Amino acid sequence: MVSLSKKLTAPIIKSSTLISTVAKFRDEQLPFIPFSQLQKIKQLESQVVSTLEDCRSPSQIKQTHAYIIRKCLHQSSYIIAKLVRMLSKLNVSTRSYGVSVFSEVRYPNAFLYTALIRGYLVDGMLNESVLVYNSMRGGGLIPLSFTFAALLKGAASESNADLGLQLHGESVKLGGFGADLFVVNALMDMYLKCGLLDCGRKLFDEMPERDLISWTSLIDAYSKAGEMNCAAELFRIMPVKDMVAWTAMVTGFVQNAKPREALECFERMQSAGVQTDEVTLVGVINACAQLGADKYAIWVRNVAESSGFSPANDVHVGSALIDMYSKCGCLEEAYDVFECMQKRNVYSYSSMILGFAMHGSASSAIELFEEMVQMNVKPNAVTFLGVLTACSHGGLLEQGQSFFEQMEKAYSISPSVDHYNCMVDLLGRTGRLEEAQKLIRTMPMEPNAGIWGALLAASRVHGDSEIAEVAAQHLFKLEPANIGNYILLRDAYAKAGRWEDVLRVRKKIRVKGLRKNGAAACSWVEGEKGVTHEFYAGDSTHPRNEEVKEVLEKLMERVRGDGYEAQVSAVVYDVEEEEKRRILMKHSEKQALAYALLVGSEGAIRIVKNLRICEDCHMFMCGASRVIGREIIVRDNLRFHHFRDGSCSCSNFW
């Protein structure tokens, strides 16, 4: 094993006393102290330690230090270790004060060395902490379990796997630490945070005993790595499950876009009588937001309030509920939560602004932004993302440009690629394609696929095949296997009447063997007994498929009679027009609407779709809302569409 002293040789610690103290005094004999006097010293030490713990400022620490010197206790490793730790707690630099205090102690013990090591780690000085460890080992002292735990935590925080491996070797070489649960947990945490999941699992499997920390750390690591099957299996065999472990599973499912599993896990947690905290609630609220099912939203809010986390008093839960209701299509309920909050911060304001933006209420988003500024709540990057999105969805070019300029000038916020994406989208939607192209050229970062995709989509809508070519060439390099970019370019050529180029793009698609990949188009809607039903484009496997088909055909007749004409251009396949109509009939959101009508759902019909709604389905939903006399709310992957009496909240601008 490579020694630590060879690995880190930079002489960062300049005090020669620190390096030589133990070697200089280790052979000297300590004077004999009578037992009665020793008792008095212990009492005095306890009093001094109590005084140190009550210190609230560096000046109080210095006064207490002076008292320690007067009472000749400056050689007590016990007291000086406490002093060094208090310095770290009060954010006093270890390098300046801590080392000078430490260097005055003739016989520093392992506790004092560990206090200095921790102090350096608190200051973010990992190399210096390792040099202190080298000094301690050079003086013949055996480290404590706390010593290893502190150094391993430092290695984990900087993802320094090399140092972690050396510390692991040291712990094995010294013996005894392999059975120390505190050290082994720290070792496992180091491996997991350094991305060495297999090493962490091997250590876990070899542990002679495990506690809740051991189990939960590994479950959390599997979740973050996207291996939820491994996390779930580990959780299943976990002997005792506490709130932290349950929360790790709930948030793990949410982070891996498995909202149903998260909600099912939370239901089991409730059934097991496990206490719910703020972190669990925010996780399950996010699961509801992903799923977009309002029935879960009501349930989760009731759970939050019954658990003592009312949105009126808890700004984190309140902000999460605003986001959840917004994504479930319940904008009024989201605003009710916002209104009831006694305290609002930048997160609650930003959540509500984003909610208005995704529902197409651009004016409400802008009004709330202005109110926020008047209330002296400073907007952040997310706030501006919300208000720019609102401008983009509403076609408010001048306001959008004004907000974009304010970011840096008024608030010193550098626009990210997402903010530029909003501006390119806004310029493109309003037909300012050359301005959008110019903005892309002036970006301080490399444009990503989202930027070029927004320009290509806008070029297709406005029939500018030349700019479409420029955007497409960049996308072909960034996403060579994405057939959607070829289709958009093909459609731009078709709109411009460049039929030879249309044929050329089609040939490229065939030669490259490109196929429509990624997530299948899917829509889900709530059915009988609150059960959510999924429908896939072109799929006919639903148990009530024939009934759904019959309802849809009858609805189609009524909508056609009201003036609807199928937008066959929305079909990307090169087939006959009648076949295109048949394909459009099987789009997932149409099937979901027919199923909702079949089961006789009441009130607004809420449909969630994983992809962007197509032009044909958008027009169909407009007509359907008029002939059935009900509101239809469709949430696609970009925003909400509220269809009422033949029109949409987006004013056909999406």
Average pLDDT score over the chain: 87
The SS3 call for residue 522 is: strand
**Cα dihedral angle (640, 643, 649, 654), rounded to 10 degrees?**
60
Do the domain assignments include residue 403?
yes
Q: Token pair 């970006």 is at which residue? A: 443
CA-based nearest residue to 15, from 85, 143, 83, 116: 116
In the predicted structure, residue 239 carries a pLDDT above the cut 80: yes
Confidence of residue 173 (pLDDT cuts 50, 70, 90): confident
Residue at which a domain ends, from 512, 538, 567? 512
Same domain, 229 and 94: yes
CA 499 to chain centre: 45
Same domain, 492 and 556: no
Q: Give counts: helices (H), strands (E), the chain.
A: 34, 6
pLDDT digit string, tens, across residues 304-329? 888 888 888 899 999 999 999 998 88
Residue at which a domain ends, from 252, 280, 298? 252
Do the domain assignments include residue 319?
no
Name the domain count of the chain: 3
DSSP 203-258: HHHH-SS--HHHHHHHHHHHHHTT-HHHHHHHHHH-SS--HHHHHHHHHHHHHTT-
CA-based nearest residue to 334, from 316, 312, 355: 355
Q: Which two three-digit tokens encode residue 507? A: 């040939």
Same domain, 108 and 211: yes
Confidence of residue 78 (pLDDT cuts 50, 70, 90): confident
| Local structure of residue 520 (DSSP, 8 states) | P
Residues 86-111 have a mean pLDDT of 86
Do the domain assignments include residue 492?
yes
Residues 519-526 have a mean pLDDT of 80
Q: What is the CATH number of the domain that holds 414?
A: 1.25.40.10
The CA distance from 114 to 634, in Å, is: 59
User: How far is the first Cα of the chain from the last one, in angstroms, to the nearest whole number?
Assistant: 62
Same domain, 162 and 16: yes
Do the domain assignments include residue 536?
yes
CB 387 within 8 A of CB 369: yes
Lowest mean pLDDT among 192-206, 363-377, 430-444, 513-527: 513-527
In the predicted structure, residue 466 carries a pLDDT above the cut 80: yes
Do the domain assignments include residue 315?
no
Residue 203 structural domain? 4-252
Checking DSSP bridges between strand 632-635 and strand 605-609, what pairing results, if any?
A: parallel
Same domain, 390 and 472: yes
Residues 52-71 have a mean pLDDT of 88
Q: Is 600 left (phi over 0), alpha (psi -120 to 50) or beta?
A: left
Same domain, 570 and 621: yes
**Cα dihedral angle (323, 326, 328, 331), rounded to 10 degrees?**
150
| Cα–Cα separations (whole angstroms), residue 211 to 203, 207, 418 | 14, 10, 43
DSSP 51-90: HHHT--SHHHHHHHHHHHHHTT-TT-HHHHHHHHHHHHHT
pLDDT digit string, tens, across residues 378-422? 999 999 999 999 999 888 999 999 999 999 999 999 999 999 999
Q: Where are the alpha helices (DSSP H) in 448-523?
A: 449-462, 465-478, 483-495, 499-512
In the predicted structure, residue 28 carries a pLDDT above the cut 50: no
Q: What is the CATH number of the domain that holds 64?
A: 1.25.40
In the predicted structure, residue 3 carries a pLDDT above the cut 60: no
Do the domain assignments include residue 346?
no
| Cα–Cα separations (whole angstroms), residue 547 to 526, 543, 627 | 17, 9, 20
pLDDT digit string, tens, across residues 253-308? 999 989 989 999 999 999 999 988 899 999 999 998 887 777 788 888 888 888 88
Residue at which a domain ends, from 208, 229, 252? 252
Which residues are 634's β-sheet partners?
Answer: 607, 641
Do the domain assignments include residue 568?
yes
**Cα dihedral angle (125, 131, 133, 137), rounded to 10 degrees?**
180
Same domain, 527 and 555: yes
CB 242 within 8 A of CB 275: no
Orientation of helix 181-193 relative to helix 161-174, angle to 10°: 160
The SS3 call for residue 550 is: helix
Q: Which two three-digit tokens encode residue 178? A: 């392999």
Do the domain assignments include residue 275?
no
Same domain, 57 and 24: yes
Same domain, 485 and 600: no
pLDDT at 98: 84
The helix (run of H) or strand (run of E) holding residue 170 is: helix 161-174
| Local structure of residue 647 (DSSP, 8 states) | E
Same domain, 397 and 541: no
The CA distance from 403 to 366, in Å, is: 10
pLDDT digit string, tens, across residues 561-575? 999 988 876 665 656
Same domain, 501 and 527: no
pLDDT at 5: 38
Q: What is the pTM of this model?
A: 0.74
Which residues are 608's β-sheet partners?
Answer: 524, 635
Same domain, 508 and 527: no
Q: Please state the length of the chain.
A: 654
